[in-house]
Amino acid sequence: MSTGHRRKTLVRLLVNGEEHTLAVPVQRTLLEALRYELGLTGSKQGCDKGDCGACTVLARPRDGSGRGEPILSCITLAQDAQELALTTIEGLAGPQGLDPVQRAFADCGALQCGFCQPGMMLSARALLDQCPRPTLPQIQEALSGNLCRCTGYTKIYEAVEVAAGLREPASRPPVSSERAAASDQVAHVPKEIAP
């Protein structure tokens, strides 16, 4: 039986601009280190095997060169992330407050349960850093590694376009049907539903 989780190793992680030195089991994933060791619970565990994208964080070289690329923290070992400068959802907001992506997701109703959103927003931020005025197919491609089960993605695309300054949030008014007259309130004795 494996006892790998009892052997610990020292890892240095640079997360949201802060340096951390942690003693973690050698099998510790980056997601576990973020959530359990650093209390950065904004990164979510949806599948723990790289399928859903809820654990997405942004990574770039420690020297600050290059752009943040989305990586899956649940299938990255903590010890393999030591050369990276990491951004989690907790680090996305800047001194001016929420990132435009975060604000647009809230304004457009792009978040429902919110569980996929940290990863989704980080993927969206990576896209906009690389391509400030993306087309719809580019947005769809960039977010295709982040599963959302609530929204049908429609308002997520809208939010990315709003964050990019390409459009305003949706505002189509509802359409009226004819007003119903007062109901006739057919009354019955309530019955138990026992078979």
Partner 1 sequence: MTHPVHRPGHVGARFPKVDGAGKADGSGVYADDIRLPRMLHAKILRSPHANARIRGIDVTLAASYPGVVATLVGAEMPAKYGVIPWTHDEQALATDHARFVGDEVACVAAVDERTADEALRLIRVDYEPMPALLTVEDALAHPEIKVNERAKVGNVTKHVELEFGPVDDAVARAAAVCHQVYEYAGSTHAPIEPHCAVARVDGDGNLTVWSSTQIPHYVQRELSRVLGLPQSKVRVIQPLLGGAFGGKSDPFSLEFCVAKLAMKTGRPVKILFTREEVFYAHRGRHPMRMDVKVALDGDGRISAVDNKIHIDGGAYASFGLVTAYYAGQLLTGPYRFGTYRFDSTRVYTNKPPCGPKRGHGSVQPRFAFEVALDEAAEQLGIDPIEVRRRNFIGENVETVNGQRITSNGFLKCLELVEEASRWTERHGKLGPGRGLGVAGSMYISGTAYPVYPNEMPQSGVLLKLDRSGRVTVYSGASDIGQGVNTLLCQICAEEMGCDPRDVTVVAADTDLTPVDLGAYSSRVTFMVGLAAREACEKLADKLRAAVAAKLGCAPADVRLELGTAAGPQGTMSFAEACQLAEAAEGATLASTGGYRTKKLGGDYRGGTIGASPAYSFTAHVAEVEVDEETGIWTVRKLWAAHDCGKALNPTLVEGQIEGSVYMGAAEAQMEEMIYDRSGLLFGPSLLDYRIPTSLDTPEIDARIVESDDPNGPYGAKEAGEGPLHPAIPAIANAIHDACGIRIRQLPFYPQRILQLLRERDARRAGSERVA
Q: Which residues within the stretch 4-63 sit at the binding site for partner 1 (CB under 8 A)?
A: 5, 27, 35-36, 40-49, 51-52, 54
User: Which tokens is 91 given?
Assistant: 């680090």
Interacting residue with partner 1 among 148, 162, 163, 164 (CB under 8 A): 148
Task: Rank residues 106 and 166 by Cβ distance to partner 1 and give the closer one.
Answer: 106
Q: Give me the 106-145 binding string for partner 1, x by CB under 8 A, dash otherwise.
A: xxxx-xxxxxxxx--x-----------------xxx-xxx
Task: Rank residues 85 and 116 by Cβ distance to partner 1 and give the closer one.
Answer: 116
Q: Name which of 96, 92, 152 is nearest 124 in CA terms.
A: 92
98 binds partner 1 (CB under 8 A): yes
180 binds partner 1 (CB under 8 A): yes
The H or E element spanning position 21 is: strand 18-25
CB of 73 to partner 1, least distance (A): 13
96 binds partner 1 (CB under 8 A): no
The rounded distance, in Å, linking the Cα atoms of 112 and 65 is 35
The rounded distance, in Å, linking the Cα atoms of 112 and 92 is 20
User: Which tokens is 46 given?
Assistant: 């949806």
The rounded distance, in Å, linking the Cα atoms of 109 and 42 is 19
71 binds partner 1 (CB under 8 A): no
CB of 34 to partner 1, least distance (A): 10
Report yes or no: 31 and 98 within 8 Å, Cβ to Cβ: no
